Structure 1
Amino acid sequence: MTTHELPPIYQRLMKKYPVVTPEEWLLLDSIAAVKHIRKGESFLRYGKVARYSAFVLSGMFKFSILDDEGNEKIVRFGFADDFLANCESYNKKAPSAVSITAMEDAVILRINIKKLQPLYDLHMNLLHVNLQLFQEMTEQQSEHQYILSLKTPLQRYRFLLERRPAIIQKISLTNIARYLYTSREALSRARLFLLDQSRNFCD
C-alpha cells in the first residue's frame, strides 16, 4: 500500500493531526483494524485490563464508573475523531474502573497499544500526538471536575449550554444527568427554567 492508498477513513484524522506524515499513518494502519460496535456494546468493560485504544470514526461513546450504590456516573463522552483509551489500566495492568460503551452504533479504528508504544521511540510525530491526546483527556477531566464543583443542577446545565452545546444536542437528558451527577427530574426542572427565561427575554 502506498501513501496514496490510505483508506478514506484517515482523511479527517490527517486534518486533525497534520504533524503525522502519510508514511506514519501507513504504519498505524498496519497495526490498526476497523471495528463496528453496536449500541450498548462495550469497547472496554469494568474489571477488564485495557489492551486497545481507538479513534472514533463515527458514533458516540460514554466513559462511565459505578458509585458505591452501583449507580452509573458518566465521566466523559467520546464523539467522532475523539480517542478512546484507559492508559492507567494498560500501564498498571490493572482492571479498569471505567467502562467505555457505545451510545449508538459506532465504527472505530482500534489499535493494539502493545504494538503502538514502540513506535513512539522511532517517530516523534506520533509521540507528539500521544502527548496531545493525553493533554486533551486531562483538560476534559479538569473541566468535568469544575462542572461538578458548581453547586446546583441549573448552574451545571447552563455551563454545558454555553460551553458544550454538542453534549446538549446529542446526548439524552438521562445521560446528561448522569454526567452532571444529578437526577433526571432536577435536570428537567433546570432545563424548563432556562427555556422559560429565554422565552421571557424574547417577549
Structure 2
Amino acid sequence: MLDQLATVRYIRKGEHFLRVGKVARNAAFVLSGQFKYSFIGEDGNEKIVKFSFTDDFLTNCISFNNNKPSYLNITALEDAVILRFNIGKLQPLYDLHLSILHVNIRLYEEIMQQQSEHQYILSLKSPLERYRFLLRHRPAIIQKISLTNISRYLFTSREALSRARLMVAEEFSNQNTCG
C-alpha cells in the first residue's frame, strides 16, 4: 500500500527538497545521500540546523502542520536518492493502520530530540566545547560533513572551528605521547 503512495526520486547535489517560502507537502526517507536544513541569518550567513543521512527522514513538520511557508531550505549535500511521499495522502491511513501512526509518532520524537540536541550544542559557550560534543555524540557529522558546513551548524566561523580542531588534535597527541 505504501509503495503506491511513494516514489523514488533522484536529487542532485545542491538541489532542494524544500525551499524557503514553500509549504511542505512531501516527506521522504533518505535511501542514499546527505541533506542539510538551513536558512540565511540576519547577518546574511547561512545557518544549518540539521543534517540528514541515509535512513533518515526528510520534512519540515512545522511548515506542514501549520500549512505555512517553510523558513528552511532542505538541500542535498551530494547526489541522493529518496523515497518521497505526499504527507496528506498518508494521514488518512493512520485510522486504518495504527502501525503507520506509531512510525509517524516515533519520527516526530526523533525530530524533537535532534532539535533539542542542537539547541543544547548552541548553548555551549565555545566552539571548542561544541566541537567536542560532536566528537562524542555525533561523530558521523565530523566524518561526513565539510568543515564549512560543520561551522555553519555550530553557528561559528570556519576559523574558530579550525582552531578548536587543532586544540583537540594537540590534546589527543599529548595524551598519546604521555601515556
TM-score (ref. length: structure 1): 0.86
Answering whether residue 84 of structure 2 is matched by residue 134 of structure 1, we say: no
**CA distance in structure 2 between the aligned counterparts of 1:146 and 1:45, rounded to whole angstroms:** 26
Q: 1:151 aligned to 125, 139, 162, which one?
A: 125
Alignment of 1:70-81 (within 5 A): 70-81=44-55
TM-score (ref. length: structure 2): 0.97
**CA distance in structure 2 between the aligned counterparts of 1:86 and 1:151, rounded to whole angstroms:** 28
**CA distance in structure 2 between the aligned counterparts of 1:119 and 1:76, rounded to whole angstroms:** 29
Task: After TM superposition, give the deviation of residue 158 of structure 1 in Å.
Answer: 0.3
Structure 1 counterpart of 2:86: 112
SS at match of 1:73: strand
Structure 1 stretches of 5 or more lacking a match? 1-26
Task: After TM superposition, give the deviation of residue 57 of structure 1 in Å.
Answer: 0.1
Question: Cα deviation per residue 1:17-68 (whole Å; 9 max; x = unaligned)?
Answer: xxxxxxxxxx111110000000000000011111100000000000112211
Q: What CA RMSD, in Å, does the superposition of the two structures yield over aligned residues?
A: 0.7
Task: After TM superposition, give the deviation of residue 91 of structure 1 in Å.
Answer: 2.1
Structure 2 counterpart of 1:18: none
AA aligned opposite 1:194? V
**Runs of 4+ in structure 1 over 6 Å off:** none
SS at match of 1:46: coil
**CA distance in structure 2 between the aligned counterparts of 1:69 and 1:121, rounded to whole angstroms:** 45
Task: After TM superposition, give the deviation of residue 149 of structure 1 in Å.
Answer: 0.4
Structure 2 stretches of 5 or more lacking a match? none
Q: 1:52 aligned to 23, 26, 38, which one?
A: 26
**Number of aligned residue pairs:** 177
